[in-house]
Amino acid sequence: MPKTSTENRAWIDEAIRRVDADANRSADTHLHVLPIPVPGIELYLKDESVHPTGSLKHRLARSLFLYALCNGWVGPNTTIIEASSGSTAVSEAYFARLIGLAFVAVMPASTSAEKIALIEFYGGKSHLVEDPGQVYDEARRLESECNGHYMDQFTFAERATDWRGNNNIAESIFDQMKAELHPIPSWVVISAGTGGTSATIGRFVRYRRFPTRVAVADPENSAFYGGWESDRSDFTTCVPSRIEGIGRMRVEPSFVGGVIDEMLQVPDAASIAAMRWVSTILGRAVGGSTGTNIWASLQIIDRMRAAGETGSVVTLLCDGGERYLGTYYNDDWLIENDLDIAPHLKTLEEFAKTGIFTP
Ligand SMILES: Cc1ncc(COP(=O)(O)O)c(C=O)c1O
């Protein structure tokens, strides 16, 4: 990006004002209590689906735009490009429109139709690739082809987000826990796509010297677990994750293993069973990665119960289920994808009765 001219500087000032004004108009997301029959232990859901663009990625997209604008990487004629599994692209399309720029999302062809429609609703274009592993190079290629700027969430998520505060997701959670029975959570359980959310929460917990531990739940076929377990950042897998938004075939640059205390692998059928189970309790549909978070949270809660521990556990409701009606909420799709959720649903129903979770 050439040196910033005076005109560009005025345009950048106005663009930043608009992004800030959007934040100023937005309320913080809720923290729900999810009732569980385990005496002395409470489970909380941080509801990121209520952001204007419906997912936790609204925060990240805002940070990435401010980071790029303040670095002088984006000007009045820049086309914004992102490689995404969908959620980030939906949020980035919103911010691109807010500051009057074109937006192109490079996504796997398997991305849900609902997400593609949402990106186009915000004025974005979808550029689909057959091989999910190709999204990075294709985004880079488009960037050089059309005076573009590749936002590259996988590299910059952990850098663009202010992990010390500034109303990041961690600060918001700890603020909202202040009046609870166990205000300092024993555990925060999240899953990883870029790894940015777990990096932010893990750093914040250490920075504020809270005793809280951070656990990351990983779906099938993801490289994060293997990479963390073997301390290898070059760990890869060759099959893409089936739980949209989380699990990657490589350990993404924004994944910071050093701030994670534990990782748990969650079967995809269990993620979808937990997604449906918690949707019934909440009375509204949640997304697949929320199911992954819930299943792992119940594993940790059961371990606390067995050890006679009391305390609170916080996890994330990452996005709404309306984006997955054609997949995770469709029984034919489950059969086509060989996902039998019945045994996992039984485990959850047993837990609801007894408070004992035996996956
Ligand atoms: C639905 C959903 N859940 C969870 C995540 C994981 O968040 P992060 O990228 O901060 O690791 C993503 C990321 O794209 C997502 O789309």
- Encode the chain (359 residues) as per-residue pLDDT tens digits: 556 787 889 999 999 999 999 999 999 999 999 999 999 999 999 999 999 999 999 999 999 999 999 999 999 999 999 998 789 999 999 999 999 999 999 998 888 888 899 999 999 999 999 888 899 999 999 999 998 999 999 999 999 999 999 889 999 999 999 999 999 999 999 999 999 999 999 999 999 999 999 999 999 999 999 999 999 999 999 999 999 999 999 999 999 999 999 999 999 999 999 999 999 999 999 999 999 999 999 999 999 999 999 999 999 999 999 999 999 999 999 999 999 999 999 999 999 999 999 99
What is the 8-class DSSP label of residue 358?
-
Q: 170 and 275 in one domain?
A: yes
Most distant CA atoms of the chain, gap in Å = 67
Looking up residue 96, the CATH number of its domain turns out to be 3.40.50.1100
Q: 93 and 187 in one domain?
A: no
**Beta strands at 103-108 and 125-129: parallel, antiparallel or unpaired:** parallel
Contact 165, 174 (CB under 8 A): no
Q: 177 and 148 in one domain?
A: no
Q: Which residue has a Cα nearest atom 15 of ligand 1? A: 245
Q: Among 123, 157, 191, where does a domain finish?
A: 157
Q: 292 and 259 in one domain?
A: yes
In angstroms, what is the span from residue 287 Cα to ligand 1's centroid? 11
d(CA 355, CA 359): 13
**Kind and range of the H or E run holding 127:** strand 125-129
For residue 192, the ligand 1 atom closest to its alpha carbon is: 11
pLDDT at 4: 74
Asked, for residue 239, whether it belongs to a domain, the answer is yes
**Beta strands at 41-47 and 31-34: parallel, antiparallel or unpaired:** antiparallel
Which residues have any ligand 1 atom within 6 Å of their CB?
55-57, 85, 87-88, 157, 191-198, 245-246, 287, 289, 318-319
pLDDT at 113: 86
Domain count within the chain: 2
Domain extent for 284: 22-53+162-354
Q: Among 103, 133, 157, where does a domain finish?
A: 157
Q: How many alpha carbons fall within 13 Å on the CB side of residue 143?
A: 17
pLDDT at 2: 58
What is the 8-class DSSP label of residue 122?
T
Q: 178 and 139 in one domain?
A: no
Asked, for residue 105, whether it belongs to a domain, the answer is yes
pLDDT at 18: 98
Provide φ and ψ at 324, rounded to 5°. Answer: -130, 25
Q: 209 and 73 in one domain?
A: no
**Kind and range of the H or E run holding 314:** strand 311-317
Q: Among 157, 184, 215, where does a domain finish?
A: 157
Ligand 1 test: best mutation among 29, 48, 56, 204, most atoms within 8 Å of CB?
A: 56
SS3 282: helix
pTM assigned to the model: 0.95
Q: 172 and 313 in one domain?
A: yes
Asked, for residue 309, whether it belongs to a domain, the answer is yes
The percent helix, strand, coil of the chain (3-state, each to 5) is 45, 15, 35
Asked, for residue 3, whether it belongs to a domain, the answer is no
User: In sequence order, which residues have a C-beta less than 8 Å from that of residue 134 and are 6 or more positions away?
Assistant: none
Task: Residue 280: count other Cβ atoms within 10 Å of its Cβ.
Answer: 11
The type of residue at 166 is N
d(CA 284, CA 252): 32
Q: 137 and 153 in one domain?
A: yes
Q: 277 and 203 in one domain?
A: yes
Start-to-end C-alpha separation, the chain: 52
For residue 55, the ligand 1 atom closest to its alpha carbon is: 1
